[in-house]
Amino acid sequence: MLGILAILLDPFLLIGFFLGILYLYLTATFDFWECRGVPFKKPTVLVGNFGSLLLFRKSQPEGVKEMYQWFKDERFFGAFRVRSPVLILRDPELVKSVCVKDFSHFLNRGIPINNAQDPLSGHLFNLEGHKWKGLRSKLTPAFSSGKLKRMFYLLGECGEELQRLIKEASRNVDRAVEVRELATKFTIDVIGSCAFGIQINALTDEESEFHRAAKTLSKPSYKATLWRMLRTSMPRLYRLLGVQIVDPGVTKFFMDVVSQMIDQREDNGTTRHDFMDLLIELKNKGTLENEVSNPRVCNDEDVQAAKEIVLDESTIAAQAFVFFAAGYETSSNTIAFCLYELALNQDIQDKTRREVCGAIEAQGGKLTYDAVQEMKYLDMVILETLRKYPPAPLLSRRCEHKYQIPNTEVELPVGIRVIIPIYGLHHDPTYYPDPSRFDPERFTEENKRTRHPYTYLPFGEGPRNCIGMRFALLQIKMGIISFLKDHRVEICGKSTVPIKFSRRSLVTTSEEGFWLAITPSS
């Protein structure tokens, strides 16, 4: 009793006591993998094994690649994010089990949502359980090839404006252009037109509110970026503090825009065949005409759950927001990375341009949806770009039921997170010889058949893969076609070779931009 009283009276002893308690709390889980006989990397107090990423010393791709190589002979291994144990997979068969075969055990991403503070966070990417399944079932038909074909004219209009600006840029004295900036404006225009039904003119109006919102989203504070990394390992603290990751001004802007567009469409009865039309149709009718649910995602119970989901203005705003936030930056970076590689590999660029021009000529000189679908080599070029520069360096799932790892005695408890190191798999020489080389031939039908399909995951896999994958690929193709149709890209004095990845961004992007020279192709 006297000893405890002495501690309470002595401030130094009191501080030491609390530091000791904190140390025990932070390290209490560090025997988790050892007890289960799983190989693991010894963690560091406060940061676990993610110190280089949490402290922004390395980019996400570099950090993920380094982790992937810690245990080269293992199918999986353990690590710690702060104090939370995580399992990192190296075996594509285990990736398949988590994403598809045993999907019911790994249904959720485990991303906590603060709806009161972050009303835009209740979107498809974050939702869990029946809410996710029901909403996914409702939204999947909106991304069918038929729906994309009907809104292709909107992408065509944005592509024509991009071509005009590319032509102007090629007349500059030094012809050096930051192509990601142009690509970003293009994708903002495309998504604004297709998702919100608004002609934003970001390509010509840098002061548009959408453009300002995009800049805010793509350059978050260190605090917001840190919380994005920490929220899955410290969900209780995240909720307790009521963290708001999306800027309040951005939240208000998107809520207001969606509310205005819904009122305008419903009052005027206008139709553009865009995603806003489809979301309003879902809001008013509950389903889309002539469409059925995705059987891979939903059983009868889930279909019933879908019927119970009401698409009110807040829900629509959240879906439109994630469509914008997840789509414009990843697509513009992919366009920029692709152009960068084509500038370094002129023979591949020439072959791609010949195909683009040939497909357009075959359609009477018009860039049609069918012409784009015929560009198979361009498909391979984009797939290789996404292999070398996957937008998300990793993906994770939370274990929802006790799970025994196949062919082992290791049992994962409920709540444990499983990490799939996409960047590591994409750069593993076992699957992709000489992985730093840009080689579209990796994606011929013959070569794809010889490779395990779960070593390529730019859009995730299984029922929880990216719902907007088709749209993203179409948007990326249109952006690259706009650059290559009448021009060529080349390395210039401002180009950074090799690329230096951004340490602050959670998506794969360049720290110093993508400066290339643009010249007429003939």
Model pLDDT for residues 86-111, shown as the tens digit of each residue: 999 999 999 999 999 999 999 999 87
| Predicted confidence (pLDDT) at residue 2 exceeds the cutoff of 60 | no
Annotated binding site, which residues?
466
Q: Average pLDDT for residues 462-484, to the nearest whole number?
A: 95
Residue with tokens 């002893």: 13
Backbone angles phi, psi at 194, to 5 degrees: -80, -35
pLDDT at 472: 94
Give CA–CA dist 229/393, Å, rounded.
13
Number of residues that this document lists for the chain: 522
- H or E stretch covering 78: strand 76-81
Q: Is the pTM of this model over 0.85?
A: yes
DSSP-assigned letters across all residues of 344-389: H-HHHHHHHHHHHHHHHHHTTT---HHHHHT-HHHHHHHHHHHHHS
Give CA–CA dist 245/122, Å, rounded.
13
Give CA–CA dist 91/431, Å, rounded.
11
Q: Average pLDDT for residues 473-493, to the nearest whole number?
A: 95
pLDDT at 199: 67
Q: Half-sphere exposure (CA, 13 Å, Cβ side) for 387?
A: 29
Give CA–CA dist 513/508, Å, rounded.
12
Assign 3-class secondary structure to 393-437: CCEEEECCCCEECCCCCCEECCCCEEEECHHHHHCCCCCCCCCCC
Model pLDDT for residues 344-383, shown as the tens digit of each residue: 999 999 999 999 999 999 999 999 999 999 999 999 999 9
Percent of the chain clearing pLDDT 90 (strictly above): 52
Better-predicted residue by pLDDT, 155 or 244: 155
pLDDT at 5: 56
pLDDT at 295: 47
Give CA–CA dist 25/196, Å, rounded.
47
| Sequence-separated (6 or more) residues with CB below 8 Å from residue 304 | none
Model pLDDT for residues 46-81, shown as the tens digit of each residue: 888 998 988 889 999 999 999 999 999 999 999 999
Annotated binding site for heme, which residues?
466
Residue extents of the structural domains in the chain? 31-520
Per the CB < 8 A criterion, the answer to whether 372 and 481 are in contact is yes
Phi-psi region of 412 (alpha: psi -120 to 50; beta: other; left: phi over 0): beta
pLDDT tier at 282, thresholds 50, 70, 90: confident
Q: Which CATH class is domain 31-520?
A: mainly alpha
pLDDT tier at 10, thresholds 50, 70, 90: low
